[in-house]
Structure 1
Amino acid sequence: MSGIQLVSTHFPGAAKIVLVQDNLSTYTTASLYAAFPSAEARRFVECFEWHYTPKHGSWLDLAETELGVLSTRCLNRRVSDKKSLIKEIAAWEQNRNKHQTKADGQFTTADARIKLKRL
């Protein structure tokens, strides 16, 4: 979904729309002025409040990792209906929380040398 859809379609009356982006694909106000006429770009700029995640150890990366785990361990098959899906996800979440599963966002150069030794 583009930011323009956020402003024009999904939240046309919003005073501010907070965009959280990682630093891999950073967009700035300049990109809006390059793509749209000045008046329209200005309208978008006034609607957006940009927040960027840290370049290293982004919480967004951790969230994506959790979604990946959810997909492979819980959603790796067809679920017949919405009620069953909600139940499955709740059970998975309860198990993750019960065991206090933590994401380890640490990956050092030494770890990389060990893991990538064969390359």
Structure 2
Amino acid sequence: MFDERSPIYLQIADQIKNDIVSGALAEDEQVMSTNQYAAFYRINPATAAKGFAQLVDEGVLYKKRGIGMFVSPNARDLLRTGRREGFFADVVDPMIREAKALGVPLRDVVQHIREYGDA
């Protein structure tokens, strides 16, 4: 489940974010408690709590005192907006720079994307 590329608490946060973006976790849906999460994945509860705390700080989860953690009402939109910005910065912009460096007209890049989308 977890790999060595990044801290486990970040991987926990990313997994929950992915579940929200994909729709596996809905807005206002309760998520596993940190103790349940830690037991299920056999990790330290403090590590799980750190991942959950990050999500609370980011506005992705919120706490209901005495009940548990829930997906924030705007979490999916918030995450999708951030990922769109990252997609353009990390994928599209470098692709455009590379196309220009290679002398590939942007209209050819756009055409290729359209053909790929139709396949």
TM-score normalized by the length of structure 1: 0.35
Going by fraction, where is helix more abundant, 1 or 2? 2
TM-score normalized by the length of structure 2: 0.35
